[in-house]
A and B are shown apart, each in its own frame.
Chain A
Amino acid sequence: MDEATLVERAQDVVERAKRAGAQEVFAVAGRSRSVELQRRDGATERLKEATSRSVSVQLWVDGRYSSQSTTDLRPEALDRFLADAVALTRALQPDPARLITDPALFPKSVVPLEVEDPALVAGLDAAARERWVEVMETEARRNDRVISCTSNLTFRSATGACATSNGLLGQSASTDIWPSVEVTLRDEGDKRAADGDGYGARFLGDLPDAATIGKNALAYTVARLGSAKVSTRKTTMVVDRQAAGSLVSRLLSTANGASIQQGRSFVADKLGKAIASSKLSILDDPFLPRGLGSRAFDGEGIAARALPIVDKGVLTNLYVDTYYGRKGKLAVTTGSASNRVVALGSKDRAAWIAAVGEGILVTSFMGGNSDANSGDFSFGIRGHLISKGQIGAPIGEMNVTGNLLSLFAGLSGVGNDAWRASTILTPTLVFDNVQFAGV
């Protein structure tokens, strides 16, 4: 089914829903094709292919609101589904803040985003897929300690269309591809060292080559051998770019209309004030070429625009959707993040490690959580000691604990090495005086 047909389907759902009694309707029709190939220890372990499609719809009926979705798209089933949906909506309570998106916020023109790779729309043929997973695995196995190695390649091509009762007609088409390798090595006793590497991109041509991913996966896992915890201490924390995005995500986790209106936000009174040291600037950039979060409009049809979220440490914008904007008397921006791009510093990870001298390098966070009201956090970590400006022994089974606002107030260094295989493009980050718990 091509995009024109999806648009027609979305428009058809709007018409059917209006006939069923809805005053306003926001309909989305989507279709995606995905292929996954997984190889383990020399043989294909899993081949999975599917074409998936669905319809979702938001309804406004007599001042009441609901959202619905279905995968049963037969016309008679759709009509029954929409009749039930309208009946359910009528049973709820009216809420004056529930309004369909203001049409003034809809996009006025088509924006080219460069998020669909023709090579991935066509799909990789069987030989090309198999070459990817075989090369990754071969490189990752080049060590006597290998117990098991799994390589995976997943790619997807998705199209969508939306239509509303108040004038929006939108289309989207994108592709993405995700190669990854996991390696398990024999360590001391019953222990295994396990790690891996992976990457994701919109375009096949933006991926590192398969051999590099395999080599990295093995190197990262070898570096974990003999991991142990060290003593409880306060020290400098260098966070690898692949792990740093999760901290940025936590810092911004309550910088939105819902959290603030609901009284569960540690940045509720911080708009226009510092939430980090002046080293931190973050731009929400929906137009990033080939970005994994790039988009022309958001989930409620609001036209994309670049939004500075943090400028030299100061919180400059919040994520606010139509509902919480109206309910919480906040300016509507967008309810969801696109690409969050952290402004780069001047040094790469190795240079920061050399500059820091002593500390702990965190390569991944493991579990943990943070409190919405206080920003207090506690996470498990894996990484390495930093000693005399060099990466030292691997460490694990340790926690890092503190408060997100004070952690980011102590942000003393930002790398120049952004991780691009994410919707949060973060470089190496350096934090002063961080509490680690170990022995």
Chain B
Amino acid sequence: MPSRRHLIQAAAAGIGVVTMPGWLAGCARPSAAVDLAAPLPTNPFATWFGVDEPLLARLLTELGKNGATFADVYLQHTRSVSISLEDGIISSASASIDQGAGLRTVMGDQQGYAFTEELTIEAMLGAAGTAASIARGTAALPRQPFVVNEASKALYPLATSWGDVGIDARLPILTALERHTKALDPSITKVTVNWGDSEERVLIATLDGRMHVDVRPMTRLWCVVTATKNGQTVSNSANLAGRRGIDWYTDENLKALAKDAVDRTLVLFDAKRPPAGEMPVVLAAGASGILLHEAIGHGLEADFNRTGTSIYSDLVGKPIASDFVTIVDSGVEANTRGAIAFDDEGNPTESTVLVEKGILRSYLHDQISAKHYGVKPTGSGRRQSFRFQPLPRMRATFMENGPHSREEIIASVKNGIIAETFTNGVVQIGAGDFTFYIKNGWLVEGGKITAPIKDVNIIGNGPDALKKITMAAGDSKLDAGGWTCGKDGQGVPVSQGLPTVLVSSMTVGGVNG
């Protein structure tokens, strides 16, 4: 149903799934020497998109012709490269160029939206006229001149931008990762490596006279392992992702990724399904932040609260968890997938405290909901591309350190499980029910880890699960995996993190007798 919000690890092995962007060496780019901070009309971004300040003003005038509380022009150019190594051969790659303009007129809670891939004046003006048809009032004129902001370079600085990296520089990384992986165990029969990199240029011009430009890099490296022993075949994968450059793929990082992928795979030979039913669940530090994403993150996106559809709609200012629970959604965690210098409506991002010492403090706002609630936007208005209107979205969602230790948490569990790696999760906003799927974990009996487990779904209820966080350790960390959050048919890159946490009871989809 449309109200479901999904979180997936971007599809692992296979064909054609990858749309990660990236620049090819030698393609048309503005000279590397241009100063991105230079004021218009010499702004290279405007030049890049073939627009200038008068044209942007004309588009905004068209967007506001029937009235508007807000309007924006979103210009985007993304280049992406994906490469795969399979059966020892790098025999497939794909590259894409995706460029276009999204034009939006906002009138209160109402939005008119149109996009075009053709960056001609006629096509963009036509789209602006379509978007403007949502309103029926008197014209709102754009404020000029534009105040130009260049996004902070500090969040994802690259030594070498992807545009300056040749295809031949990428290939040895795939080969090295395969070699490191195969060397780890004789039972490994197949290794597939999938690579993705991209560079996205955006320019946002708003009716209230702001203009923002940014270059957003992204890369991901995925290692899929298949192993066979005594007639049993198992497979699993691990990946590294972030707003990083090629220098991130050091031999040390490649070896660590290989080991992670192999460890997750080989443990499956002996893994079993746990028993079915309610039991304590220990969430290992890192990727277990999927709990926060599903149990509370989506429920605090302000669009669901503005419409009263979230189970959290009436809970701001109220205690919803133990006093050691502080949950943050941040756009400023450098080099993470969720990092974003300003959001896709041109608002600066921040670190938003959602839950402070157990008290629910804030929703995640876009322009529309901030206006509705009379608060400052939190910089959470994000979109998949120029083809979509922005929505309140998460960035990097994590919980801060708690007072306990991992050892004492595990020791406190009589019969339960530890959840360690995950493939996907989902939440039903109104009821608050959420699930996530555990690929690897451990059985805990009598306070001790006794056996590996695999392939179980966990289901819980958001507010209920938060109340049942009874312990949290001091080892909080963000996961470096390639998480993508889906909402309303739009996928955006996110990050998540958690310290080791005990949820005293959730329903585990195991098997009895």
Contacts and interface: CB of A to CB of B under 8 A. Distances in A.
A263 interface: yes
Contacts of B253: none
A272 B94 CA distance: 36
Contacts of B309: 147-148, 184, 192, 194
Interface string A68-99: 11111100010011001101110111110110
B87 interface: yes
Chain B interface residue bracket vs A:
35 or more
Interface string A352-369: 000000000000101111
B69 to A, nearest CB: 14
Interface in A367-385: 367-374, 376-380, 382
A366 B27 contact: no
B114 interface: yes
A92 B166 CA distance: 12
A contact face: mostly helix, strand, loop, or mixed? strand
Interface string B26-47: 1110000000000000000000
B433 A366 contact: yes
B318 to A, nearest CB: 10
Interface in B1-25: 1-4, 6, 13-16, 24
Interface stretch (B144-152, B203-211, B451-459, B467-475): B451-459
Contacts of B96: 68-70
B130 interface: yes
A439 B112 CA distance: 46
Contacts of B28: 77, 80
Contact of A195 (B1, B312, B426): B1
Contacts of B314: 190
A185 B309 CA distance: 8
A215 B100 CA distance: 39
Interface in B421-471: 423-426, 428-437, 439, 454-461, 463
A170 to B, nearest CB: 19
Contacts of A400: 509
Contacts of B511: 401-402, 435
Chain A interface residue bracket vs B:
35 or more
B307 interface: yes
A246 interface: no
B507 A368 contact: no
Interface in B75-109: 81, 83, 86-87, 89-100, 109
A397 B91 contact: no
Given A48-B113, A84-B27, A366 B127 contact: no
Given A85-B95, A191-B431, A262-B192, A184 B308 contact: yes
A263 B512 contact: no
B503 interface: no
Interface string A400-417: 111000000000000000
A293 B264 CA distance: 37
A65 B432 CA distance: 47
Interface in B454-513: 454-461, 463, 507-512
B455 A396 contact: no
Contact of B93 (A89, A147, A194): A89
A379 B457 contact: yes
B454 A376 contact: yes
Interface in A13-61: 40-41, 43-54
The 4 closest A-B pairs by CB, nearest first: A399-B509, A194-B430, A192-B430, A95-B91
Given A84-B26, A87-B167, A378-B437, 20 more contacts: A43-B109, A45-B111, A48-B112, A52-B117, A66-B92, A68-B94, A71-B100, A72-B99, A80-B28, A81-B97, A91-B167, A92-B90, A92-B92, A93-B91, A94-B91, A194-B3, A198-B1, A372-B235, A373-B235, A438-B277
26 contacts: A43-B109, A48-B114, A49-B114, A49-B130, A50-B127, A52-B117, A53-B118, A77-B28, A84-B27, A88-B93, A92-B93, A94-B91, A191-B431, A195-B1, A195-B3, A198-B2, A263-B228, A366-B435, A367-B424, A367-B437, A369-B424, A382-B428, A397-B507, A401-B456, A401-B457, A437-B509
